[in-house]
Amino acid sequence: MSEAAEAIMEEEMPAPERLHPLTMLTGLGGILKSLWGAIAASAFLLYSGNQTIAIAVIGFALLSGFIQPLLRYLSFSFLVEEDEIVMNSGILNRNHRSVPFDRVQDVNIEQNPIARVFGLARVKLETGASAGKGEEDGIIDSIALDRANELRDRIRRHRAAALPALPDRGEAMESEQARPAVFAMDARRVFLAGMFNFSLAVVGALFGLMQTLGDVANFNFFSRTFWQESFAPDNPLVIFILANQIMAVIAGLVSLVLVGLATGIIGTALREWNFRLDRTESGFRRRRGLLTLTDTVLPLKRVQAAIYLDGPVKRHYGWTSLKLQSLAQDSGNSGDHVVAPLARPDETKEILAAMDWRPLPEDAEDWHRPSPALAMEGLLSLLPLFIGGIVLLFFHWSGLLVIGAATLLSIGALLDWRWRRHRVDRDRVLIRSGWWQKRLVILPLAKIQSADLRRNFIDRWFGIASVRLGVAGGKGFSAHGVSGLATADAFRLRQRLLEGSV
């Protein structure tokens, strides 16, 4: 079987190229690094009189340092064909990778100092595929520099031939005249955004800290001694607080809220100060920051999806926020680029218009809801918790807490089901979810990379399925998709989504 395959491979690829033989030496840096450990170990061994083992350790380290590049040299070959490059690698696990030139976004040529001495270069073909987990797209490590340049020119020529009339891409920054900003936030708006960023997490953490350590450090807003010792004893407020424990509790709550507000406002002001979003030739340019100024260019071609997010308070006062999911990751911990931290819906409409995206449809029709079976499944999954709580109740009152928590979670499951919606709006799909923090994703169908239809065995009892969409960019663990559709609907939806994609 395998012989036949090899034969076919041979036929297809008349003369695969190998890496440059000196590649085996480019690993020298790594070898030296690994040797330090071995030298230390063998010095210790020599000191304790184990000469043979010391020599063996050094020998083994040297050998393994050379063997790895040798094996790589022996097992790696690549072949440049008319419109693709084929790479064969691996010893036990043979891997044949073909990278079409049409998919190569960028060719990186890297040279570390040792490679420069030998005139070698490491070629990295970036395809935009996020192989993730440290696995790289297409790396040829290493070939002669001349060959690397040749390869890069070859790929560039191919791309130039395929794209006759692409305007020069270097215009990202300039040509931004005195056009008005698409969206900007003044100090008042930033302050307001900070209020909405009231951090429950900080409050929770502080409360927890006070309960555990507060009494020792005398930093507990809820204890009378804190108020007694921190302020003048004849302060009327303090006297009032001391008068009854209830007031101490209230004062504690007020202080916690103030701390939460302050952290929210300070954090937001540092980040969003002088927020300004401009439209440039190729996309958006975002400037913000108080101490650390950031200036981000966001080419529209890289935008994959737009995401509206609003919590209950923001929503109540008629505010919302808008993020763009892009191929590049935003700085900081959020993967998506925030283009409007706090905006009126009309302002976000303008941002969408600046991207040549249609506004959200006004009519409430045509939104589809998931099957009630999704809610049933959620409730069913909480059943063990209820049973556990009831059983626990026979032994201890804390069973009530478990039952209470299960009840809250059940209500959450129902509300979650209640607020899920999706709608195919011509060339894009809109997905709503969340009942506390509501989320609306606008995903152009052309940005869908792949579509999974998933059913586990419980889903199959209920006859439902979920559609998971592969979209580029964004945080690693927040896939877009629609859950809990009746199986036939899920198949239909997927077909509809992919029709737009092809």
Partner 1 sequence: MTTDLAAPPPETDRPAVLRDPLQPHLPEGMHPVERSYAWVLRLRQMATWIPLFIGALVLDNFAFEGQPFRGLATAVVGIVGLAAIIFVPQRIYRRLGYLLGEKMLRIVRGWLFHVDTIVPFVRVQHIDVARGPLDKLLGTASLIVHTAGTHNSIVTLPGLSPERAGEMRDTIRATIKTDWQ
Q: Which residues bind partner 1 (CB under 8 A)?
A: 1-2, 4-5, 8-9, 12, 84, 90, 92-100, 102-103, 127-132, 137-138, 159, 162-163, 166, 301, 327, 446-457, 460, 465, 468-476, 479-480, 487-488, 491-492, 494-495, 498-499, 501-502
Q: Which is nearer to partner 1, 199 or 326 (CB)?
A: 326
Rounded to a whole number of angstroms, the minimum distance from the CB of residue 92 to partner 1 is 5
Rounded to a whole number of angstroms, the minimum distance from the CB of residue 225 to partner 1 is 53
Residue 475 tokens, joined: 């945080």
Q: Which is nearer to partner 1, 295 or 452 (CB)?
A: 452
Q: Which is nearer to partner 1, 46 or 488 (CB)?
A: 488
Phi (first) and psi of residue 200, to 5 degrees: -65, -30
Residue 250: burial class (beta carbons within 10 Å; 0-12, 13-18, 19+): middle
Rounded to a whole number of angstroms, the minimum distance from the CB of residue 101 to partner 1 is 9
Q: Which is nearer to partner 1, 11 or 234 (CB)?
A: 11
Residue 226 tokens, joined: 């804190």
Which DSSP string corresponds to 285-318? EEEE-SSS-EEEEEEGGGEEEEEEEE-HHHHHTT
Rounded to a whole number of angstroms, the minimum distance from the CB of residue 498 to partner 1 is 6
Q: Alpha helix locations (H) across 48-93?
A: 51-75
In this structure, the dihedral spanned by the alpha carbons of residues 218, 222, 224 and 228, taken in order and rounded to 10 degrees, is 60
User: Is 359 strand, coil or helix?
Assistant: coil
Q: Alpha helix locations (H) across 103-244?
A: 113-118, 145-162, 187-196, 200-209, 215-217, 224-230, 236-243
* Distance separating alpha carbons of residues 464 and 417, to the nearest angstrom: 13
Q: Which amino acid is at 173?
A: M
Rounded to a whole number of angstroms, the minimum distance from the CB of residue 454 to partner 1 is 5
Between 372-393 and 399-419, two packed helices, what is the crossing angle to 10 degrees?
A: 170
Nearest to 432 by CA among 389, 477, 482, 358: 482
Residue 491 tokens, joined: 């198949």
Rounded to a whole number of angstroms, the minimum distance from the CB of residue 269 to partner 1 is 31
Rounded to a whole number of angstroms, the minimum distance from the CB of residue 6 to partner 1 is 9
Q: Which is nearer to partner 1, 245 or 456 (CB)?
A: 456
Q: Which is nearer to partner 1, 287 or 468 (CB)?
A: 468
Are 20 and 143 contacting, i.e. CB atoms less than 8 angstroms apart?
A: yes
Rounded to a whole number of angstroms, the minimum distance from the CB of residue 206 to partner 1 is 35
* Distance separating alpha carbons of residues 380 and 406, to the nearest angstrom: 11
Q: Which is nearer to partner 1, 327 or 415 (CB)?
A: 327
Q: Which is nearer to partner 1, 49 or 164 (CB)?
A: 164
User: What is the CB neighbour count within 10 angstroms for residue 380?
Assistant: 14
